[in-house]
Amino acid sequence: MSIPLPETSMPPEEKNNVTSPPEIAAEGPPSPPRQRFKWLKFGLRLGCALVLLTFLFKSISWSIVLQKLQHLDDGEVVIGLIVGLIGVILSSYQWQSLLDGEGIHIDLRRLINLYLIGISFNHFLPTGMGGDVIKAYCVGKEGHNAAGSVSAVVMSRVTGFAGMLIISIPILIIYHQAFAPWIVGTFLLASLGICGGLVVVFFAVALLPTLIKGKWTSYRIVSSMFNIGMTLQKSLRQPRALCSAIVYGVLFHISAALNYYAFAMILHIQVPLPFYMVIIPFVSLAVVLPTTINGYGVRESAFIAIFASLHVDMSTAAALVLLMDAQGIFFALIGGAIYLFTHNRKGNTAQKTHLCRLTAD
C-alpha cells in the first residue's frame, strides 16, 4: 500500500509536455554517489529478501509442497487466474475514474495494458523505473497532462487503501477472536499509522511553503510530501471521482480475497472467505516498508505466519503463496510482452516514417 510519487519539480509551463519519465525529468541524470547509493540500497534489499526466503524455505517440507502443486487441476487453476485478471480490470476501472476526474480520457483496454506493464516493471526492474512511474509517464504523455496523471496514480493508492479499510475493519471486528492478538494489534497500528501520516501530510501542505525554503525543497521526501498533500487537497474537490475510485477499491479487495480463496480451495485450505479480507490487507501493510525487492520474503513470511496461527500446515500455506507468486510473474510476463510489442511497433512506425521522408526528399 505504499504511495510512491515521482518528483515533479518542473516549471509549470513544462508539466503538461513531458518528454521523459517523471523521475528523469525531475532529477536529471543521477550523480555517481547517488547511483552508488541506489545500488547499495538494492543490494541490501536483495540480501534481506534472500535471507528471509532462505530461513522460510528451510522450515517447510518441499516434498509436501511439490506433491500438492503436482496434483493441481488445470481447470481450477485457470479459474483462479481469471479471478486474478478481474482484479486487474477493476484496478484499471479505478484508475480510469480518477483520470476522468483529471480530464484525461484513456481507453480502458489501454489502461489494462499499462497496468500489466506496471506489474512487469515492478517484478523485473526493481532498481529502475517502478510500475507507478511508468504508468504515470505513459498516461501523462498520451493525455498531455503529466501532473494530472501523477495525481491519478497517487490517488489510486490512497483510494485503494480506503477501500481496503472499508472491507477489512468490519471483518476484523466481527472475527477478531479467530485471529491471534499480534495480528489484530499490528494491523490496527499499521492502519492508524498510515491514516495519521496522510492526515499530517494533508495539513502540512499549508505550512511547508512557509516553513521550508531553499535547498530543503530539493529533498525527495519534502517534495513528495508536498505533492501528495496537494494531490489530496485537489482530489477532495472532486468527490464524484473520489467516491467512484473508493468503490472500485472495495471491489478490487473483494476480488483479491476471492482470488486467494479460489487457489486455497484447490489446495483444500479450509479458511473462510471473510478471513482473506483481513489477511491480504495485513500482508499489503507488511510490505509497505521497502525492506526487500518487490516485497519478496516479507510477503511470504507474513502469509505463512498468519496461516500457521489459523492452524494451516506451513507447507500447504507455502504452496498457496508460491501459486500467487507464480500468478504475479505470469501477469508480469504478459505485461513485458505487451511492452516489447508496443515498443517494437512504435520503433517500426518511426523507421517507416523516416524512410518515407527520405524517399520524398
DSSP letters, 279-320, are HHHHHHHHT-S-SSGGGTTHHHHHHHHHHHHTT--HHHHHHH
- The angle at the Cα of 30, spanning 5 to 201, to the nearest 5 degrees, equals 25
State the Cα–Cα distance between residues 143 and 154, nearest whole angstrom.
Answer: 17
Q: Are 46 and 293 in contact (CB under 8 A)?
A: yes
* Dihedral sign computed on CA atoms, order 288, 289, 290, 292: negative
* Dihedral sign computed on CA atoms, order 174, 244, 262, 311: negative
Would you state the cell numbers that stand for residue 38, as one nine-digit string?
Answer: 541506489
C-alpha atoms less than 13 angstroms from C-alpha of 39 in its C-beta half-sphere: 6
Q: How far is CA 249 from the centre of its chain?
A: 13
- pLDDT at position 221 is 62
Residue indicated by cell numbers 480518477:
98
State the Cα–Cα distance between residues 193 and 201, nearest whole angstrom.
Answer: 12
State the Cα–Cα distance between residues 333 and 317, nearest whole angstrom.
Answer: 24
- pLDDT at position 73 is 87
For residue 319, what are the contacts with CB-CB under 8 A and spacing of at least 6?
64, 65, 68, 69, 267
For residue 100, what are the contacts with CB-CB under 8 A and spacing of at least 6?
241
Domain residue spans in the chain? 70-256+326-340
State the Cα–Cα distance between residues 336 and 34, nearest whole angstrom.
Answer: 28
| Residue 303: CB atoms within 10 Å | 23
Q: Is 35 exposed, middle or buried (0-12, 13-18, 19+ CB in 10 A)?
A: exposed
Would you state the cell numbers that stand for residue 356, as one nine-digit string?
Answer: 518515407
State the Cα–Cα distance between residues 148 and 16, nearest whole angstrom.
Answer: 9
One digit per residue, the tens of pLDDT, for the chain of length 361 reads 444 444 333 434 444 444 344 443 444 445 566 667 677 777 787 788 788 888 877 888 888 888 888 888 889 899 999 999 999 999 999 999 999 988 899 999 999 999 999 999 888 765 445 788 889 889 989 988 888 888 888 889 889 999 999 999 999 999 999 999 999 999 999 999 999 888 877 776 666 666 666 665 566 666 666 666 676 677 777 788 889 999 999 999 999 999 999 999 999 999 999 999 999 999 988 887 777 777 778 888 899 999 999 999 999 999 999 999 899 999 999 999 999 988 776 655 555 454 345 445 5
Q: Are 111 and 92 in contact (CB under 8 A)?
A: yes
Q: What is the pTM of this model?
A: 0.78
State the Cα–Cα distance between residues 359 and 351, nearest whole angstrom.
Answer: 12
Amino acid identity at 94: Q
